[in-house]
Amino acid sequence: MGIFWDLIQQSEIEEQCEKADDLEEKVNSLEKELYETKKLLRKTLLILENHLGKDIDGDGKLG
């Protein structure tokens, strides 16, 4: 019975490792998406401030 228990435990360990890898990939993907979103937001803010001639983000300067 001990060998079956070992096989079950090994299987569960492998499942947890796969889940951890999937989670790490998801986190990396979300971090990249957040970076790209912030980059686009900065560009949009720059264009909007220049177009309106107003300091929208409160940093004390236009663009």
Please give the chain's pLDDT, 63 residues, in tens: 677 777 788 888 888 888 878 888 889 989 999 999 999 999 999 999 999 999 988 888 887
Q: Which residues contact 62 (CB under 8 A, 6 or more apart)?
A: 49, 50, 53, 54, 55
Which are the contacts of 50, defined by CB distance < 8 A and separation ≥ 6?
62, 63
Residue matched to tokens 């720059």 = 46
pTM above 0.85, yes or no: no
Which residues are within 8 A (CB) of 57 and not within 5 positions of it... i.e. 6 or more apart? 45, 49
**Nearest-CA neighbor of 61 among 52, 51, 49?**
49
